Amino acid sequence: MIKEIAFTAYPAKDVAGLRKWYEDKLGLKFSGPFEEDGVEKYNEAHVGNGWFGVLWNEWVEREPGSASGIVFEVDDMDKTLADLRAKGVEVQDPYDTPVCRIASLNDAEGNKVSLHQITVPH
């Protein structure tokens, strides 16, 4: 049956622009665009054991700003938030759970991105 997650794709009207935002703000490194008629329609970044993609919204049949499921693991929440805020990214203050800290922000097209730091290994 299911053996792993292949990739997650966030919708974008401007795939190249959103890819650049993820490169500049979160430091992701994308593998190279899939283009159609000279326009970037898809690109993906290897993150841990999986892939995070930015996909033209008409292919994924979702409006930009409608995605909200990605949660990136970080080593140091406070440093990450300070770095993002220095880059002009509005980030919610983190909240603590019994095992982690979580903070959220919106990407350049309004999709929700969350950051996660494990505080109690499980």
Q: Where are the domains of the chain?
A: 8-118
Q: Mean pLDDT throughout 110-117?
A: 97
Q: What is the mean pLDDT of residues 32-42?
A: 96
pTM of the model: 0.93
Query: Sorting pLDDT into bands at 50, 70 and 90, what band is 5?
Result: confident
What CATH number was assigned to the domain covering residues 8-118? 3.10.180.10
Cα–Cα distance between 66 and 107 in angstroms, integer?
A: 11
